[in-house]
Amino acid sequence: MSRGRRPSRPRRARGIDPARRAAYDALRAVNAADGYANLVLGDLVTRRRLDERDAGFATELLNGTCRLRGTYDAILERAAGRPLASLQPAVVDVLRLGTHQLLSTRVPAHAAVTSSVDLVAAAVGERATGVVNAVLRRVVAHDLAAWVDLLAEGLDGVEEQAIRHHHPIWVAQAFTEVLGSVGARQVMEANNQPPDTTLAARPGLASLAELVAEGARPGAWSPYAAVISGNPAQLSAVREGRAGVQDEGSQLVAVALSRVAAPDGPWLDLCAGPGGKAALLTGLAAERAERLVAAERQPHRARLVAQALRGYAGYRSLDGADLSPLVVAADGTRPAWRPGTFARVVADVPCTGIGALRRRPDARWRRQESDLEQLVPLQEALLGSALDAARPGGVVAYVTCSPHPAETEQVVRAVQQRRADVTVLDAWSYLGEVDDLARGPFIQLWPHRHRTDAMFCALLRRGTPPAAPLE
């Protein structure tokens, strides 16, 4: 009888932890299909009926992995001794999740490695188990701080800070341009702290007092903001569409627009998806006996807007006037309305989203600086369209969830130079209760100063103001 090697036995398949499987499937959807982490995981949690513990663990795995993906990728390339592009993308995502468990959670090292091996066997195949096992055992040789020190060797200035605070270099450079090195470090540190969930009590439908009575706490600045640590759906106002999730910075720019003197007439949300700001604007418009038109180019996002506005369906003033919002699927650069129609217009334009990195961890590595080449012309076109839509004396809010100068003040100045009918207002003066938010004449919010997204807002008037200011 031959005394050669015994044939290897197939690994006995283990049950895959449902939280890890959900986090992996969501991560694949984010990286392979450009999905949004919160939406993808929320759907998986619902469909797979994960309990609160598993849902919480899956959320931590997914968000933490997305937040530090660039750092983990650099660590994995060193541990693997080859570019990650040489490995199957699905294997790389298993390695990312495993690295997060090893370096940023309290999961024991053996459990992190074993569960990752089992996961890759189930999701990819047995052939991939060897590389996952080997690479993760090299990852665990150092803790996260030691790995970051290795990655930062020989670097200084912005590049070193980007590595140490887990941000793309171009993002760190943008923060530094606006804030200086100390401020940039502070905002990056704030971006690495997962925020609580902020809700907006929609005017005419719910009150802040109601949300507080159900366990939320008041926000710092917005009169409509409430903060909650748990599942928003535990509040009846959220379940019924009378309140919704909305960052406090997004609320504040809507409030600022509502406080500017403007003529009577309907309001327009030019880029309304997914609908949080549109819902607040609908309520603010209704307080002036005005209607909101919410426009969104993509039909599926227009449906999300309609869902967000469902609480205002059939909404009427005390004298019976119809104030329910109108949702239209329309391209803001090719308007479906006549010029000079609206008294107030908000253009919350597509942008890099680098102002929302604490709340949107998957956005941190999704965008590249080169994206500005396509975004800036679109932003200028949308601002021009918003101004055309405003009636004489009307006001436009140009809003981005980004502080990058190329898509904020430079866009405003470029459009202003091409038009003789535009005046830039001191936007910060309409939020006098908020500290330290002025950036020239503009509003600039920051996570480290205001505990909001880094929202930028410019207020522009078309033509002359109305004779009698509205308060």
Q: Cα separation of 397 and 151, whole Å?
A: 42
Are 62 and 100 in contact by the 8 Å Cβ rule? The answer is: no
Residue 11: per-residue pLDDT = 46
| % pLDDT > 90, the chain | 85
What would the pLDDT profile of 385-422 be if each residue is shown by its tens digit? 999 999 999 999 999 999 999 999 999 999 999 999 99
Per the residue annotation, which of 66, 351, 401, 457 is the catalytic one?
Answer: 401
Q: Cα separation of 129 and 114, whole Å?
A: 10
CATH class of segment(s) 18-146? mainly alpha
**What's domain 248-462's superfamily in CATH?**
Vaccinia Virus protein VP39 (3.40.50.150)
CA dihedral 151, 153, 159, 162 (to 10 degrees): 40
Residue 463: per-residue pLDDT = 87
Average pLDDT, the chain: 93
Per-residue pLDDT, averaged over 84-99, amounts to 97
Domain(s) of CATH 1.10.940.10: residues in the chain: 18-146
Burial code of 237-269, b = ≥16 C-beta within 10 A, e = fewer?
bbeebbbbbbbbbbbbbbbbbbbbebbebbbbb
209-216 contact pairs (CB < 8 A, 24+): 210/237, 211/235, 211/237, 211/243
Domain(s) of CATH 3.40.50.150: residues in the chain: 248-462
Single-letter code of the amino acid located at 106? R
Per-residue pLDDT, averaged over 101-119, amounts to 96
2 pLDDT band, cuts 50/70/90, is very low
Q: What is the pTM of this model?
A: 0.91
Answer yes or no: 457 catalytic: no
Per-residue pLDDT, averaged over 263-286, amounts to 95
Per-residue pLDDT, averaged over 210-219, amounts to 95
Check whether 9 has a pLDDT greater than 70: no
Single-letter code of the amino acid located at 115? S
Tokens 């930062």 sit at which residue? 152
